[in-house]
Amino acid sequence: MRPIKAGIIGCGNISRIYFSNLQKYPEIDLVAAADLELARAEERAREYGLAKAYTVEQLLADPEIEIVVNLTIPQAHAPVCMQALAAGKHVYVEKPLAVTREEGQRVLELAAEKGLRVASAPETFLGGGIQTCRKLIDDGAIGKPVSVSGFMLCGGHESWHPDPEFYYAAGGGPMFDMGPYYLTAFVTLLGPIRRVTGSAVVTYPERTITSEKKRGQKIKVETPTHIAGVLDFASGAVGTLITSFDTMAGTSLPNIEVHGSAGSLLVPDPNGFGGVVKLRRHGGEWEEVPLTHGYTDNNRGIGVADMARAIAEGRQHRASGEMAYHVLEAMHGFHDASRDDRHYTMRSKCERPEPMPAL
């Protein structure tokens, strides 16, 4: 296949790994960088040897660029996706797909209207760690899946991130920051979600930045920072997900465990591509399982490459907009359920993405 020309919009903290990796995938020809601050786009273009540093408008007007990689802050995800789709370009967007469900729906509707594709991070589920777990489950290694539990607990990002304010604004918080990794892994392993419930609180209404550049500045917290959720899957399995920015002393809990009628599976950190997979069969001990799939380094950008190849092959790409919307709806569902003292029944559906080829 011929490589598809792509450009990146948003040259912030996460962009460097995308600039680096997208130049390595044969499916992608990365040609341009764009940012609201043209100087930052020019800096990235020089850093990675790109010929074009653009304003956002200039990149969208370039007829050669077929895929826009949207790495803006969450509040800009949907508006930039809509602009790119309106300009006739496929879109890959950082997580979450959008801040609100209404925005996410509009993005998918416009893509369908235009005959274009939307893909979304996280793409870590395409890595060897989670794909090995997917194969073990599909091969019956743990019998019938009964439950899954996920834990993401930390003390927040104001101690290290240079601009941490958006983590505590609407569309931020631990659920919207890290929940997509866990929920996308859940859907990959067990399929779509039927309903959710949970409790969500703001433990500290104000946070103090201790990282450099903005040390001492105060952040008003506008979104829940500790969420304990329960999920019912369409398959009948039950899930638990706890995400927190309030566990200042850390945790000893695992990332993800899946329990079945014949065994249990220890799933590696869904924010990474590789990791250690362990299996314990009924009556046995925990044993490490060799990874059966590749992409075990920091392979961010593989979702863009998979979409480009899927376009050429006429198949569905794996990091689909529909799955990203399903995850977005579930995250809002936890918040809604806590606020309204009820279960939230999911309206969207999605398919489990096709597994990656084994080694």
Q: Which two tokens stand for residue 34?
A: 């764009």
Instruction: Identify whether residues 281 and 197 lie together within a single domain.
Output: yes
Instruction: Identify whether residues 144 and 184 lie together within a single domain.
Output: yes
pLDDT at residue 170 tops 90: no
d(CA 170, CA 155): 19
Domain hosting residue 41, numbered range: 4-120
DSSP 96-139: SS-SSHHHHHHHHHHHHHHT--EEES--GGGSHHHHHHHHHHHT
The pLDDT value recorded for residue 13 is: 82
pLDDT tens per residue across span 249-271: 989 999 999 999 999 999 999 99
Confidence band for 147, pLDDT divided at 50, 70 and 90: very high
pLDDT tens per residue across span 199-235: 999 999 999 999 999 999 999 999 999 999 999 999 9
Residue 7 C-alpha from the chain's centroid: 20
Which of 70, 101, 120 is the endpoint of a domain?
120
DSSP summary character for residue 284: S
Instruction: Identify whether residues 46 and 81 lie together within a single domain.
Output: yes
Q: What dihedral angle (degrees, nearest 10) is formed by the CA atoms of 92, 97, 101, 103? A: -50
The CATH code of the domain that includes 208 is: 3.30.360.10
CA 62 vs CA 75, 85, 222, 312: distances in Å: 24, 13, 38, 21
Asked if residue 351 is part of any domain, the answer here is no
Instruction: Identify whether residues 197 and 271 lie together within a single domain.
Output: yes
Average pLDDT over residues 110-134: 98
d(CA 66, CA 6): 6
Helix axes 101-114, 321-340, angle to 10 degrees: 160
Asked if residue 354 is part of any domain, the answer here is no
Domain count, the chain: 2
Average pLDDT over residues 151-155: 97
Report percent pLDDT > 70 for the chain: 100
Specify whether the CB–CB gap between 135 and 293 falls below 8 A: yes
pLDDT at residue 176 tops 90: yes
Which of 71, 101, 120 is the endpoint of a domain?
120
Instruction: Identify whether residues 56 and 98 lie together within a single domain.
Output: yes
The pLDDT value recorded for residue 1 is: 83
Which of 92, 120, 148 is the endpoint of a domain?
120
Instruction: Identify whether residues 139 and 19 lie together within a single domain.
Output: no
Report percent pLDDT > 90 for the chain: 95
Instruction: Identify whether residues 59 and 152 lie together within a single domain.
Output: no
Instruction: Identify whether residues 101 and 132 lie together within a single domain.
Output: no
Instruction: Identify whether residues 75 and 194 lie together within a single domain.
Output: no
pLDDT tens per residue across span 326-335: 999 999 999 9
Instruction: Identify whether residues 255 and 162 lie together within a single domain.
Output: yes
In what side-by-side order are the strands of the sheet with 4-9?
52-54, 28-34, 4-9, 67-70, 90-93, 118-120
Instruction: Identify whether residues 98 and 83 lie together within a single domain.
Output: yes
Asked if residue 184 is part of any domain, the answer here is yes
pTM: 0.96
Phi, psi of 270 (to 5 degrees): -75, -5
d(CA 21, CA 30): 10
Helix (H), strand (E), coil (C) string for 185-238? HHHHHHCCEEEEEEEEECCCCEEECCCCCCCCCEEECCCCCEEEEEEEECCCCE
Helix (H), strand (E), coil (C) string for 232-283? EECCCCEEEEEEECCCCCCCCCCCEEEEECCEEEEECCCCCCCCCEEEEECC
pLDDT tens per residue across span 306-321: 999 999 999 999 999 9
The CATH code of the domain that includes 29 is: 3.40.50.720
Instruction: Identify whether residues 99 and 135 lie together within a single domain.
Output: no
Confidence band for 41, pLDDT divided at 50, 70 and 90: very high
Amino acid residing at 56? V
